[in-house]
Amino acid sequence: MTDKTILVVGTYDTKDAELNYICGRIRAMGGGVLSMDVSVLGEPSEPTDYSKHRVAEAGGASIEAAIGSGDENTAMQIMARGAAALALRLYREGKVDGVIALGGTMGTDLALDVCQALPLGLPKYVVSTVAFSQLLPPERLAADIQMILWAGGLYGLNSVCKSSLSQAAGAVLGAARAVEKPAQDRPLVGMTSFGKTILQYMVTLKPALEARGFEVAVFHATGMGGRAFESLAAEGAFACVMDFATQEVGNHLMGGLSAGGDRLTNAGASATPQIVAPACYDLVDLVGWKPLPERLGGRPAHDHNRLLKSVVLTSEERREVARLHAEKLARAKGPCAFIMPRGGCNEWDRPGADLHDAEGLAAFVEALEASLPDNVDYRPIDAHINDAAFCETALAVFDQWRAEGRITG
């Protein structure tokens, strides 16, 4: 008897040996397997549990339609829709405890859709020849996706790629056995921030919210953290969000570490109450080990470490970032408040600090106040974001919304 069942997804016509090797490794460790074929043209060496015909039908099409499209991209998108829908159905029916998908660029493209369709807490592994690549935009990545580089695996089994495949098989089965899924016994507040050297509000707010009966998850807003935050916000996973580190909005605009173009929109789209503040709005985060783009050179900058560099925005760029905040928040379907700390929005921009720019801060505030829509409850404070007054204001809004029944729990 097996304890956990893993869904193994891939093109069983071209990757038959590799996928069956993964299935065999999972079974050898006592796990169960359900196989899903997402190929279009060829046939596997032996029948899979879910054939390519069933996958295409789950996506509202057919293999004949995929072949008839005459285009590999169109065909694989048909299969991606079907694979995502079928994987979610299997999860909801309690038939799978984890998923592992295998592929090059085609298989990885499909695998990302499958993983995004599945909820947080279900182990999801992608073994890919392009793992960790710049080809993978952050908005395509599920909040808890795991990726393993498929070294030496472009064509056929060998001792090099078996090392990757066997580790992946053990990882997904081990994760399915070990995972502690979100308990959901308390309403969840999603918060964005950076480390305590630059932002400190979470040190005060987390215990204060927990004392009110809420669980708090803090997301590191350096691209991938914001992506995870947005994906959960889109699902309506939060009772309220305290989106206080919105730097990724400017990052996306300026070509920095992006969390996707939908940053600062998904809480509003799901009608989740959101309290917003613009921590680090004045900075664009860049890859620290790469040369600065020419247009961003010659500016004040902060080398956070060898991985991350932050460059200061000009006053005009800050105005543009402010207007973009207002444009995104105008779409919110739920309660929305914006706290504006007029004394500064990160520890590096305090008066006397290296990146302080009073003129730039004034430019941001002016543009923000001129463009915020009527649906946003604007709360300016004459304090710095790391001052006690900021946390007091955030909790006052939170408590007011609870009293009014806008936040439940």
Q: Per-residue pLDDT tens for 325-361? A: 999 999 999 999 999 999 999 999 998 888 899 999 9
Cα separation, 224 vs 219, whole angstroms: 9
Cα separation, 375 vs 337, whole angstroms: 9
Q: Which residues contact 133 (CB under 8 A, 6 or more apart)?
A: none
Task: Say if strands 188-193 and 240-243 run parallel, antiparallel, or are unpaired.
Answer: parallel
Look at 136 and 200; give whichever has higher pLDDT. 200
Residue 304 has pLDDT above 70, yes or no: yes
pTM of the model: 0.84
Cα separation, 22 vs 6, whole angstroms: 10
Cα separation, 109 vs 73, whole angstroms: 10
Q: What is the pLDDT of residue 2?
A: 64
Q: Is 307 exposed, middle or buried (0-12, 13-18, 19+ CB in 10 A)?
A: exposed
Q: Average per-residue pLDDT in the chain?
A: 94
Show the tokens assigned to 325.
């905040």
Domains annotated for the chain, with CATH where assigned, are: 5-178 (3.40.50.12020), 188-403 (3.40.50.12030)
Residue 380, strand partner residues: 340
Show the tokens assigned to 73.
């991209």
Neighbouring CB atoms inside 10 A of 125's CB total 26
Residue 132 has pLDDT above 90, yes or no: no
Cα separation, 9 vs 18, whole angstroms: 11
Q: Which residues contact 134 (CB under 8 A, 6 or more apart)?
A: none
Q: What is the pLDDT of residue 262?
A: 93
Residue 288 has pLDDT above 70, yes or no: yes
The alpha-carbon radius of gyration of the chain (Å, integer) is 24
Tell me: the pLDDT tens digits for 140-189?
888 889 999 988 877 788 888 899 999 999 999 999 999 987 777 899 99
What is the DSSP-derived secondary structure letter of residue 292?
Answer: P
Neighbouring CB atoms inside 10 A of 121's CB total 14
281 neighbors 360 (Cβ within 8 angstroms): no
Cα separation, 266 vs 233, whole angstroms: 5
Q: Is 213 left (phi over 0), alpha (psi -120 to 50) or beta?
A: left
**DSSP characters over 320-348:** HHHHHHHHHHTT-SS-EEEEEETT-SSGG
What is the DSSP-derived secondary structure letter of residue 198?
Answer: T
Where residue 293 falls among pLDDT bands split at 50, 70, 90? confident
Give the residue-averaged pLDDT of 12-34: 96
Q: What is the pLDDT of residue 345?
A: 96
Q: What is the largest CA-CA distance in the chain?
A: 70
Where residue 36 falls among pLDDT bands split at 50, 70, 90? very high
Residue 290 has pLDDT above 60, yes or no: yes
41 neighbors 13 (Cβ within 8 angstroms): yes
